[in-house]
Amino acid sequence: MSVESLTTVSPATSRPILSRDGISQEDLKRLPEVAQEAFQSFSQSTTLKQRQEIVARALDILEDRKDELAWEITEQMGRPIAYTPVEVMTAINRSRYLNKISDSVLGEKGIVPGEPETGFKRYIKRKPVGVVFILFAWNYPYLILVNSLIPAILAGNAVILKPSPQTPTIVEQVTDAFEQAGLPQNVIQFLHCGSPNMLETLIRSPLINHICFTGSVEGGLAVQKAASSRIVNIGLELGGKDPAYVRDDVDAAWAAEEIVDGAIFNSGQSCCAIERVYVHQNIYERFVTEVKKVLSKYRVGRPTDPEIQIGPVISKRARETVLAQIEDAVGKGAKDDTPANETFDSLPNEGNYVKPTLLTGVTHDMIVMTEETFGPVIPVMKVEGDEEAVQLMNDSEFGLTASVWTKDVARAEKLVEQVEAGTVFVNRSDYPAPDLAWTGWKNSGRGVTLSRFGFEQFVKLKSHHIKDYPK
């Protein structure tokens, strides 16, 4: 039986740029077997300190290659070259932080003592779970990958990586860097695969001990369904419909600059991008005016141009989805308030370009306010005050992040306590911090990455109850 061929199509030109062979049935069967062998050896033959040193060396190697890695991201998923080096370095620095704090969770400091009892020694230790299967998305491939890969390796697990076919070289670069850094063979393996049936086979394998998936809600549900016949933990980082609330005491120009960036950076293709904006009625018109000023300065075009801020969306299908949401909103009474902009009006003929679009007069009857957009659209809705804003922010199946923008930080802290989201911001957005837990509420997922809590899904607890031998 022949293996599938996977082709990566450039979002900027709609032309094929590279291809990879999928995996054969025989290799698929062998993959978790080899991973289990590697796990048994790696977990028993290395100390945490040795694993930390391997991670540190691998990160140095990746940093040396940052320009090459950045170019690959730009070519494969379309983010402008002005920004892709930042992703690479942010992923490296995030990983260095996780490496630094791993002692407090996985080392001697992470051992949890039981209550003192004469004649007994009692404590809880963390042990690696085994083989971790990581399926990750294309939109921030290095950042998403390291969230799971680094703690998994530090804990002593073996991993199998499955990248998006859109960004296949990421696993190749990371695996090579870790092998050069001294990671034992087969502790990291990867496969290129587009077949749901083959992925389901791997998910159902009893040799897979933990699964991490980052992607759409639809994809997460498919992974969950495939694993439903097994007792296996699954970490899910899924979609978002993240709201922002602008109170009437802010400087409208400052808030507009920040919120536009939080909404359309990476062409809006972020699970934590701002996708709904609620603005107090007293400042609504002024805020809309300032957003127009900000948008008029943005440049859309080929992502290889260092002057460009907004590139294409990932695919023709994604473009059609974004345009359909805009059309639905306008058809139901919203206004396309996008300002005149030379680059908006002369988008490249090839590729999947969408102009950054400002919609005003939106309501929750429009799908642009309820379904994930994943594109450069800024829908703005007028609200009477705090109570209405919080009610609308919570009127969603998603709960990843939310932000409140105000001079009254104390009031904002009280408001965000009422908001149903795993991360809440005041006067900031779209920023997963490595020292804070990254977790989704409602349909935005389950489980935690980042912070000390991000290690917990990659370990299992083992209680030790040791009694002195009678004298």
Write out the catalytic residue numbers: 237
**Residue 26 Cα to chain centre, angstroms:** 32
381 - beta bridge partners?
A: 278
Backbone angles phi, psi at 121, to 5 degrees: -120, 125
CA distances from 319 to 168, 336, 465 (A): 22, 17, 59
**Beta-carbon count within 10 A of 261 CB:** 16
Query: Phi/psi of residue 242, each to 5°?
Result: -75, 125
CB atoms inside a 10 Å sphere around CB 365: 12
For residues 385 and 49, is the Cβ–Cβ distance under 8 A? Answer: no
Compute the distance between CA of residue 43 and CA of residue 460 in angstroms, rounded to an integer. Answer: 13
Task: List the beta strands (DSSP E) in 40-176.
Answer: 112-113, 120-128, 131-135, 158-162
Question: Tokens 């992607």 belong to which residue?
Answer: 215
**Which tokens go with 343?**
């680059």
Q: Compute how many other C-beta atoms are within 10 angstroms of the C-beta atom of residue 34.
A: 17
Q: How many CA atoms within 13 Å lie on the side-chain side of 59?
A: 23
DSSP secondary structure string for all residues of 305-343: STT-SB---S-HHHHHHHHHHHHHHHHTT-EE-PPP-TT
Which DSSP string corresponds to 257-287? Answer: HHHHHHHHGGGG--TTSEEEEEEETTTHHHH
Gap between the terminal Cα atoms of the chain: 67
- Per the structure block, which two tokens stand in for 72? 């690959």
If residue 212 lies in a helix (H) or strand (E), which one and from where to where? strand 210-214
